[in-house]
Structure 1
């Protein structure tokens, strides 16, 4: 131990003038008064450049087909970006109502300026034809089914039908009213008859004005359709206004205006008439005209009624004017409310071949007195329900 110690001391003395220290880790320190030191610089942090565009997801189908007239609302799209997260997708393009192919475009751009697009195709096709509606009941706010046998046994003039409120005998379809007479055995009010039909009373009554009814008539021996009016004050069992408490006088004191009557045994002859206390039953106040297509085409049957006269016409062609010089209760019970009736009666001499036919009515319109051709009706039924 002594020899080793003496050797270390001896060598230390020889080197006492200079001492060198090596510091591992890249630092070199020089003795003799504390010189400077050298350090290595850290590597700079480099952020990668964003060159990836957002991803767009279209919500819903990429290809849609809609019909003309349909309402279209686009469901849009959403976009996400790997760096920026959620990105707004902007929608452009329009869908017109014309038949064709349209494109909706969605565009999304991230904060680095990378853009992406996606599209949806919308094809507009012609609307499918509407499915015809089935028979619908008449508007009960406007019309009343008169079904009660007025004398408990039958109707007037030897008519042999039952009037019913069944949809088989009166209904609305495809924009028109059908009043249908049918050969069938039918029991009502303890009476069995071999024909059914319908008789409608309007729940609207008026004094003076113009009435236009566009209709196509049945045909065949024994058929008897009519468009007409009765005084609101008529006392007739089962009539609408009688059930409302207005029945105060009998027929013909109430007055009757026959706008159109057509008998199948005189095909295509349109008759218009007035029934009053001075001329009832086989009235002399009557005239008409032939319409060659009365049962194959629609025609407008009109009454123009004011305080001085009544004018009857078909499609604007006049055939009868009633204007008595002496207007009194016997000749002119027409200064008070009348209501409309539409019916299809069957006469006793109905053809053996008859099974079913109808009076088809396109519209009923009532205008104010002296209304212009462009005026709107004061009451109407267009049969579009």
Structure 2
């Protein structure tokens, strides 16, 4: 055997002995976003967002006191790259569940009938409002709600905060047999009020698993094993909602300490997949 051939055989043997590293997984791809760039006082992109209007059925099912509008006094870009949803104490001129007209106005945006997703990293950067009876939320509903109703469609609450808990945000899932007060979730505490600065709230959502994150740190994971045999309804298409409610069964109503107007600042909303 020639010396060259002997060297080639040794090199080949050494290469075969080296374990191959697994291929690097592809980074998630940004598939949809809104950065809320635009002139101050303008409405959000109507190709991406729709409005819910009024007080809904039974105060959106929660005895809420606000009437949602599509007015720029309640929902508008601020000209600095953020969308601002503003809750105001004023006569809405719209009927409230408890009789008369709702005495608060605010905003609620949704991607219903525009776009939805199955799985991904769903993320927003927000600065929360504060005060008794104030209830901001960033959440998702199953796109089949029109066919199966709630809670069978499923609900993923990515972030909720109630004003009497200024240092606490909640992440929760709701579905058949685990809805309302029976939703399954956890809270994340902060050393200062969430209203003091912008924070990033997100979920990592895959088949049969949802993780909740604040500022990039996972604080909760849910899988079908958490449901005690009840049905996991989170492998379907969901759409986004963000709103600023006033009053309701969970947060309670505003009182003399609550200051208005209150504002929910949204720096961006982004959806990654892959």
Same fold (TM over 0.5): yes
- Decide which of 354, 359, 365 is 2:270's aligned counterpart: 365
Secondary structure at 1:351 match in 2: coil
Out of 164, 167, 188, the residue aligned to residue 265 of structure 1 is: 164
Tell me the residue number matched to 2:129.
Answer: 218
Cα 1:350/1:324, change in 2 over 3 Å: same
| Corresponding residue pairs, total | 225
Q: Which residue of 1 aligns with 2:71?
A: 166
Cα pair distance change 1:326/1:186, threshold 3 Å: closer
- What CA distance in whole angstroms lies between the structure 2 residues aligned with 1:349 and 1:308? 36
Q: Deviations over 1:300-356 (max 9, x none)?
A: 101000003100010111111101238899431111110000000011521324221
Measure the CA separation in 1 of the matches of 2:130 and 2:246. 11
Among residues 170, 174, 178, which one is paired with 1:279 in the alignment? 178
The correspondence of residues 35-74 of structure 1 with structure 2, limited to 5 A, is none
**Counterparts in 2 of 1:302 and 1:351: CA distance versus 1, 3 Å:** same
Report SS of the residue matched to 2:70. Answer: coil
> Structure 2: any 5+ residue segments left out of the alignment?
1-37
Q: Does 1:303 align with 2:203?
A: yes
Determine if the alignment matches structure 1 residue 251 to structure 2 residue 150. Answer: yes
Say if 2:260 is the partner of 1:355.
yes
Query: 1:196 pairs with 96, 105, 110, which one?
Result: 105
SS in structure 1 of the partner of residue 196 of structure 2: coil
Q: Is the 8 A contact 2:54 2:94 kept in 1?
A: no
Distance 2:229 2:76 in 1: 38
Contact 2:208 2:232 (8 Å CA) reproduced: no
State the match for 1:239 in structure 2.
none
Q: Corresponding residue for 2:26?
A: none
Measure the CA separation in 1 of the matches of 2:178 and 2:239: 20
Q: Distance in 1 between matches of 2:229 and 2:77?
A: 38
8 Å CA contact retained: 1:259, 1:273:
yes
* 1:187 maps to 2:93: yes
Q: Is the 8 A contact 1:183 1:354 kept in 2?
A: no
Q: Quick one: distance in 1 between partners of 2:43 and 2:208?
A: 38
Whichever structure has more strand as a proportion of its residues is 1
The counterpart of 2:233, out of the listed 320, 328, 333, is 333
Structure 1's unaligned 5+ residue stretches are 1-131, 235-246, 370-385
Match of 2:187 among 272, 282, 288: 288
Greater length-normalized contact order (CA 8 Å, ≥ 6 residues apart):
2
Question: What are the superposed Cα offsets for residues 273-321 of structure 1, whole Å, 9 maximum, x if unpaired?
Answer: 0001021111251102112241011111010000031000101111111
> How far, CA to CA, are the matches of 1:164 and 1:284 in structure 2?
28
Please tell me whether the aligned partners of residues 274 and 283 of structure 1 are also in contact (alpha carbons under 8 angstroms): no
Q: Over the residues paired in the alignment, what is the CA RMSD in angstroms? A: 2.0
Q: Which of 205, 208, 221 is residue 321 of structure 1 equivalent to?
A: 221
Which of 140-149 and 271-280 deviates more?
A: 140-149
Residue 229 of structure 1 corresponds to which residue in structure 2? 140
Who is 2:44 aligned against? 138
- The structure 1 segments of at least 4 consecutive aligned residues displaced by more than 4 Å after TM superposition are 326-330
Displacement, 1:148? 4.4
Find the residue that maps to 1:264 and give its secondary structure: coil
Cα separation, 2, equivalents of 1:260 and 1:221: 17
